[in-house]
């Protein structure tokens, strides 16, 4: 590869090192990759871009043989190949360096670089030859690292470079760098890029996965963008702007989010008269201290606060999941006591817990059963929901919330987090609540589902439903809420109309209280 003739190099340039096309990978109930293509050429740095959950790492793992592919072809060096293990792909010249360096920190740099391929003489490892060869490779990459030093004594950045040097020593034709820069400082990144440029000049194809847009634009020649497991496009870096890239990565979700924000801003609430729900001095020992709160019809209350600030605990008190020690609750001016979730549901309150897995989904029941559970529970076991009504409700919500798979009998455990969350939302919407309490409804789900759920909340409020929206993502809280409640140390420390409030304002409110205490 390295000592190749000019013509050979030319030939390799025209023929891609790796060409993946129509690659699909699915896990039970989830399509992780859907007909994705990736073309990698010699002497090019190719950035693989996409949001969390877009399928970047799945694609890399499909290429290196960690996952087997359901459909599609992988052509390596002109021949169709299927790798069954990372070792097979490595033998074919594909080396991967992961974010976490997996080398042996107690061995020397040279030993790590040549682990498993040590030069031998008379059956013994030839330490001198090993150090010389390692030194040569390091020098070629322009790295001034002593091959005899112990790897663990070097900072992470150097260890990462050693990992790359090891990959180069294997004569890799393709080097995959999975988020190599996430723990490096600016100087270290510059050093890494230097090495990458050296390798590129030698004709190595490099895949670069990173979240840092600046770096991608600095080093890459081409970019492939994935979104929700699908191929969005391949772009030449020099001809693409950062804005275009972001739009490709986020897609129409960006527009959706902007639209939601605009709608939420236009949304007005009548805060005169009796609120739907009012709590006075509501609290529980060791969980929340004396909170006053009013929620009006059609109002979205956003609760901001750090983990442990009492935001979840307040939601649980409002729902009767925990019983308050003191304080009163009034619904439409009538004194109401909630001792169990069941009573709250009877009063048209719904609560979606932040712990989707442990407090939400019933994994071994179907989508349909999960959806109707709350409604069925409030009807009582003797009055089963008629099959026709159940089918109609389930079908309606699968369509309305775009739940996938759209099969009512699919087991809940096989759904992705976003789809499970939508089923849980449907469970509560079916009960036709007047107050919907959502605790972290978008945690750990992909951006598409996130946008859909936020859109749903905005629509519900417009139709007159009151919503309490709790999220660690302040942007989300600010985007949706009419009024903002900030909590800290189990107390409500601020409440204000959500007009021109920014994320940094909220952070200051949370932090400002710290200064006052000190």
Q: Write out the residues near another protein by the rule CB under 8 A.
A: 24, 26-29, 31, 70-71, 319, 321, 340-342, 345, 351, 353, 358-365, 369, 373-374, 376-385, 405, 427
Smallest gap, in angstroms, from Cβ of residue 432 to another protein?
14
| CA separation for the pair 443, 182 (Å, rounded) | 22
- In contact, 151 and 138? CB cutoff 8 Å: no
Distance CA 282, CA 326 (A): 6
Q: How far is the CB of 337 from another protein (least distance, A)?
A: 16
Least Å distance between CB 350 and another protein? 9
Query: Is the Cβ–Cβ distance between 459 and 480 less than 8 Å?
Result: no
Rounded to 5 degrees, φ, ψ at 107 are -100, 170
Which is nearer to another protein, 70 or 202 (by Cβ)? 70
Neighbours of 215 (CB within 10 A): 18
- Give helix 127-140 / helix 156-169 axis angle, nearest 10°: 100
Least separation, in Å, of the C-beta of 21 and another protein?
A: 16
Residue 156 or 377 having the CB closest to another protein: 377
CA distance 467 to 301: 6
Nearer to another protein, 266 or 364 (CB): 364
Count other Cβ atoms within 10 Å, centred on residue 156.
Answer: 12
Beta carbon of residue 436, minimum distance to another protein (angstroms, whole number): 14
Query: What are the Cα distances from residue 464, in Å, to 296, 393, 467, 481?
Result: 9, 21, 9, 14
| CA-based end-to-end distance of the chain | 64
Q: Which residue, among 462, 432, 439, 427, has the nearest Cα to 300 in the 3D structure?
A: 462
User: Phi-psi category of 256—alpha, beta or left, where left has phi over 0 and alpha has psi -120 to 50?
Assistant: alpha
Nearest-approach distance from CB 280 to another protein, in angstroms: 25
Q: How far is the CB of 359 from another protein (least distance, A)?
A: 5
């Amino acid at each position: 590869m390295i000592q190749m003739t000019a013509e050979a190099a030319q030939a390799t340039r025209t023929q891609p090192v790796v060409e993946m096309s129509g690659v699909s990978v699915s896990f039970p109930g989830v399509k992780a990759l859907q007909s994705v293509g990736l073309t990698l050429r010699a002497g090019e740095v190719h950035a693989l871009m996409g949001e969390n959950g877009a399928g970047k790492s799945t694609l890399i793992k499909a290429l290196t043989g960690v996952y087997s592919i359901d459909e599609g072809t992988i052509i390596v060096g002109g021949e169709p190949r299927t790798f069954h293990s990372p070792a097979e792909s490595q033998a074919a010249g594909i080396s991967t360096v992961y974010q976490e360096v997996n080398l042996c920190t107690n061995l020397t740099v040279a030993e790590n670089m040549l682990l498993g391929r040590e030069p031998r003489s008379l059956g013994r490892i030839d330490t001198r030859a090993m150090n010389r060869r390692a030194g040569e490779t390091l020098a070629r990459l322009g790295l001034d690292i002593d091959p005899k030093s112990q790897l663990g004594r070097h900072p992470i950045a150097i260890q990462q470079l050693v990992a790359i040097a090891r990959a180069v020593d294997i004569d890799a034709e393709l080097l995959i760098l999975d988020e190599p820069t996430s723990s490096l400082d600016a100087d270290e990144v510059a050093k890494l890029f230097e090495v990458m440029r050296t390798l590129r000049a030698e004709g190595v194809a490099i895949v670069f996965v990173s979240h840092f847009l600046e770096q991608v634009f600095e080093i890459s020649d081409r970019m492939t963008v994935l979104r929700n497991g699908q191929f969005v496009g391949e772009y030449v870096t020099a001809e693409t702007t950062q804005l275009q890239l972001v739009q490709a990565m986020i897609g129409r979700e960006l527009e959706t989010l902007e639209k939601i924000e605009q709608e939420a801003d236009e949304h007005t609430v009548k805060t005169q008269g009796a609120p739907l729900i009012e709590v006075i001095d509501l609290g529980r020992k060791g969980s929340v201290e004396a909170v006053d709160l009013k929620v009006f019809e059609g109002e979205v209350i956003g609760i901001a606060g750090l983990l442990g600030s009492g935001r979840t605990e307040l939601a649980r008190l409002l729902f009767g999941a925990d019983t308050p020690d003191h304080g009163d609750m009034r619904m439409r001016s009538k004194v109401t006591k909630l001792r169990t979730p069941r009573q709250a549901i009877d009063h048209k309150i719904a609560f979606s817990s932040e712990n989707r897995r442990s407090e939400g989904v019933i994994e071994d029941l179907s989508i349909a059963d999960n959806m109707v559970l709350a409604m069925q529970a409030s009807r009582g076991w003797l009055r089963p929901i008629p099959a026709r009504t159940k089918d109609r409700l389930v079908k309606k919500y699968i369509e309305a919330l775009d739940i996938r798979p759209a099969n009512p009998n699919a087991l809940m455990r096989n759904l992705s987090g976003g789809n499970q969350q939508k089923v849980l939302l449907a469970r509560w919407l079916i009960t036709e609540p007047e107050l919907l309490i959502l605790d972290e409804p978008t945690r750990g789900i992909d951006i598409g589902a996130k946008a859909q759920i936020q859109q749903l909340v905005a629509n519900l409020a417009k139709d007159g439903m009151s919503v309490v929206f709790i999220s660690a993502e302040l942007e989300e809280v600010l985007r949706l809420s009419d009024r903002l409640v900030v909590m800290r140390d189990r107390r409500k420390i601020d409440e204000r109309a959500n007009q021109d409030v920014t994320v940094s304002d909220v952070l200051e409110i949370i932090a400002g209280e710290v200064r006052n205490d000190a």
